[in-house]
Structure 1
Amino acid sequence: MRKRRGFPVVPTLMVAIAVPILMGFGFWQLQRLQWKEAQLVQLAANSQAPLLKIDGRIPEDAQFRRIQLTLSCDSHPTALRAGRNLNGKSGYSHIASCRTDTQALLVDTGWTERPDPSTPGDERRTIEGTLVHANEGGWLLVDARGQPPLAPSAPPGLDTISNNHLSYAIQWFSFAAILLVIYGLWLRRWLAQQPPAA
């Protein structure tokens, strides 16, 4: 007669530790979802706010605000990025390194269909445009008019900001549920293989 084995403590303990962790990640993503939705509401309000004329440093809460400021840009050729014009046509946005009296920032000076080089010049100019956070950190100002001969680039929209926290939460909760199902099936099989108690 086979000897009855003891209860599988280690696998059970591992599942008992892993499931709360996975659930915790899910609840954390739900908190991030609430934070992101509040942020999107604020950015939508910023996009509808009147023109903000800036003389000093750019306020931290100015993302998606339409602003006006005076700055100068480096005279070397701008960098190129994939971009779209006001009609949604794909091409290249020209990014210049610029500065105000107190702060450096990047400026999307305009759009071209071909990757032709562009030199923004070093003269001071007053620009109106929309502010977003740059991928490199700091600010990116999208010039609303474009610097000739460049056409204006498409302004940033809220649809460019990802909000995947709900799907991430569902994934973490699903991982926890799947782990519980697998453990339950394994435990049932383990119990079925045990000899009856003497």
Structure 2
Amino acid sequence: MKRFVFPLVLGVVGVAILLSLALWQLRRLEWKETMLAGITAQIHGPVQPLPPKGADTRPLKYTPVELVGGTTGDDLLVLSGQKGVGAGYRVISAFETGEGRMILLDRGFLPEADKSQPRPPTALIVQGNIHYPNESDRYTPEPDLDQNLWFARDIPSMAARLKVEPILVVAAQVEGDTQGISPQAISISGIPNDHKMYAITWFLLAIVWSGMTALLLWRNRR
């Protein structure tokens, strides 16, 4: 009887732990899908005017806004790439609204071959979303200011560089001269959601553990 107790206990405990991990991932999946649905609804919500100067816009992340004004001709290039096109840059421009406010505008993707093309001031009507991307960490290289090349969208540093308010609007639709820049609207596609895969993995491991336990018990009968 002693030959069965230890493998049986080990098997039951192991399966219980693996099943609890799988169920936890399913709860995380439900939470993540609810969060993504909320973000999607906010991205495609009603268009609003730009919040007043000095207002805390961080709680308004993803809020749709409309801008009427124009670029100043000053911009920053963030190293990027686009499927089917190749390497290129996100163009972050200083944008002056009709009320005289200066903010950051993420105009979208510029192919590498068009980097040297002139981008003088141009009038634009923009529909986009307020955004505060979290792209920098301790491994992100410092921007190459001589080449005007950045490796992440760093709102405070970029705003200081262009001498504008630390507010970023990511363009979704642009009316006017786009100067070869393709808007890249905010979407949830870049937000990872791997909880279903993790849950399946834990369930499969629980099945394997059960099978190994059964095999061990069968062998101990001999």
1:14-62 Cα deviation digits (max 9, x unpaired): 4333222211211111111111221122123213311122222224353
Q: Aligned pair 1:60/2:59, yes or no?
A: yes
Q: Distance in 2 between matches of 1:21 and 1:191?
A: 26
Q: Aligned pair 1:178/2:208, yes or no?
A: yes
Decide whether aligned partners of structure 1 residues 120 and 38 sit closer, same or farther in structure 2, where only a CA change above 3 A counts.
Answer: farther
Decide whether aligned partners of structure 1 residues 11 and 36 sit closer, same or farther in structure 2, where only a CA change above 3 A counts.
Answer: same
SS of residue paired to 2:211:
helix
Q: Distance in 1 between matches of 2:195 and 2:126?
A: 36
Q: Distance in 1 between matches of 2:24 and 2:177?
A: 44
SS of residue paired to 2:3:
coil
- Equivalent residue for 2:170, pick from 121, 124, 142: 142
Does the 8 Å CA contact 2:81/2:89 hold for their aligned counterparts? yes
Task: Please give the TM-score of this superposition, normalised by the length of structure 1.
Answer: 0.65
Gaps of 5+ in 2: 96-102, 137-153, 156-167
* Corresponding position of 2:85: 90
Shift of 1:175: 0.8
* Corresponding position of 1:196: none
Gaps of 5+ in 1: 100-104, 193-198
AA partner of residue 25 (structure 1) = L
* Corresponding position of 1:169: 199
Does the 8 Å CA contact 2:65/2:127 hold for their aligned counterparts? yes
SS of residue paired to 2:181:
coil
Identity fraction in percent: 25
Task: Please give the TM-score of this superposition, normalised by the length of structure 2.
Answer: 0.59
Considering only aligned residues, what root-mean-square deviation do their CA atoms show, in Å? 4.0
What number of residue pairs does the alignment pair up?
177
In the TM superposition, what are the counterparts of 1:15-54 in structure 2 within 5 Å? 15-52=11-48, 53-54=50-51
- Equivalent residue for 1:157, pick from 187, 194, 219: 187
Q: Distance in 1 between matches of 2:6 and 2:212?
A: 15
Does the 8 Å CA contact 1:81/1:95 hold for their aligned counterparts? no
